[in-house]
Amino acid sequence: MITGAGLGCRKFIWLGCLFPMTQGEMVVTTEQLEIDQSNARFWNELCGSGFARSLGLTDHSFESLRRFDEGFFGLYPYLLPIVQPDRMVGKDVLEIGLGYGTLGQKIAEAGARYKGLDIAPNAVEMLNHRLRLMNLPGSAVCGSALEMTFPDESFDFVVSIGCLHHTGNIQRCFDEVFRVLRGGGVAVLMAYNKFSWRQWTGWPLQTTAELLRDWRVLNRPDRISTERRKAYDANAAGEAAPETVLLSRRDLRRMLAKFESVSIQAQNMDPFRLCGRVLVNRAKLLGNFGRVLGLDLYLTAQKKATNYTTHESN
Ligand SMILES: C[S@@+](CC[C@H](N)C(=O)[O-])C[C@H]1O[C@@H](n2cnc3c(N)ncnc32)[C@H](O)[C@@H]1O
């Protein structure tokens, strides 16, 4: 729970709250607490578990994790070139939303001063297990991206791939990311693309309505259906992630206006199918269609350097 900075992770999840309360500047509503609790439960089945099963992996041994990571980076070949862990050597790096821990391990291996944050205890345990297994420094802690306990300006990089759009309040998360970044610091984030090929082909009417909203012809954004959420994230029982929002480039630029510079690129792609048959496979589409109508929008946002930071780096 958001109030539980000093509590153990499991209490964090299960403490209920009947009335809205204020935490710092954030009003924590009952609705938000329910989203947090649902997220912690849902994501306790680690993101990537289905992929691990498809590889026949049944444990978290060194060899199983190596095979998982090899498959993961094979699936997302653009991820490391975007995140660039090599530039993080000796830097304070926060990763939010850890999943199976593949990227977190890479960042720690690169020589960053690594800190991980996740609302799901099992994701935190997985990351700490990896750090111990690989004998790497750093740690992961349980908590919410919405109300981070880290002091202002404590990180040089914040990395969050596919997490903030699940929290129920992405603007609040972006504001928190901005707060904890130092002047000159860089956020590398990924959010789902509202105008992807999947959306245009699966939900053409809703996507057209989204486009009109994006152009401010319509307002009142809809909450996306369970079916649309399930198309992105589902657990072994076939349930959709509790909360998902899709975003446009325009949404993201508006929400990240506090940053000095923001660059956005589309990545990731579904295969082209006709009557259930694959016509063009995903790998062939990643470098072309994926860059225009891709499933995911990757953002690199830089916070303006303070005079002190500029002086330091000179
Ligand atoms: C789709 S997974 C992405 C995991 C990983 N970054 C990847 O790319 O595989 C989303 C992750 O965000 C975490 N998460 C969801 N809501 C959160 C919140 N409010 N604060 C922190 N982490 C959260 C989930 O527990 C889960 O580990």
Ligand 1, residue 44: give the atom nearest the CA. 25
Cβ of 118 closer than 6 Å to ligand 1, yes or no, is yes
The reported pLDDT for the residue numbered 160 is: 98
Percent of the chain at pLDDT exceeding 70:
89
- The first and second tokens of residue 27, run together, are 């009003």
14-23, 237-246, 251-260: lowest mean pLDDT where? 14-23
Q: pLDDT tens digits, residue range 280-310?
A: 999 999 999 999 999 999 999 999 998 765 4
| Confidence at residue 15, expressed as pLDDT on a 0 to 100 scale | 38
When comparing pLDDT for 221 and 190, which is higher? 190
Higher-pLDDT residue of 299 and 25 is 299
pLDDT at 7 over 70: no
Tokens 């539980």 found at: 4
Best mutation site among 118, 235, 245 for ligand 1, i.e. most ligand atoms within 8 A of its Cβ? 118
The pTM (predicted TM-score) of the whole model is: 0.90
On the question of pLDDT at 311 being above 60, the answer is no
Which of these, 227, 232, 225, 230, lies nearest to 270 by C-alpha position?
Answer: 232
Per-residue pLDDT at 16 exceeds 50: no
* Domain boundaries along the sequence of the chain: 25-305
What's the whole-number mean pLDDT along residues 127-146?
98
Quote the DSSP letter at residue 94: E
What class does CATH assign to 25-305? alpha beta
Contacts for 71-74: CB closer than 8 Å, 24+ residues apart: 72/48, 72/100, 72/102, 73/102
Nearest residue (CA) to ligand 1, atom 11: 97
Q: What is the pLDDT of residue 3?
A: 29
Q: For the chain, give the percent of residues with pLDDT over 90.
A: 83
Residue 242 in contact with ligand 1 by CB distance below 6 A? no
Task: Over range 41-60, report the average pLDDT.
Answer: 97
Q: Is the pLDDT of residue 80 over 80?
A: yes
Mean pLDDT of the chain: 90
Q: For ligand 1, pick from 98, 100, 232 the residue to mutate: most ligand atoms within 8 Å of CB.
A: 98
**CA 46 – ligand 1 centroid, Å:** 9
pLDDT number for residue 258: 98
The answer to whether residue 209 scores a pLDDT higher than 70 is yes
Distance of CA 43 to the CA centre of its chain: 12
CA atoms within 13 A on the CB side of 128: 12
Residue nearest to atom 18 of ligand 1 (CA): 144
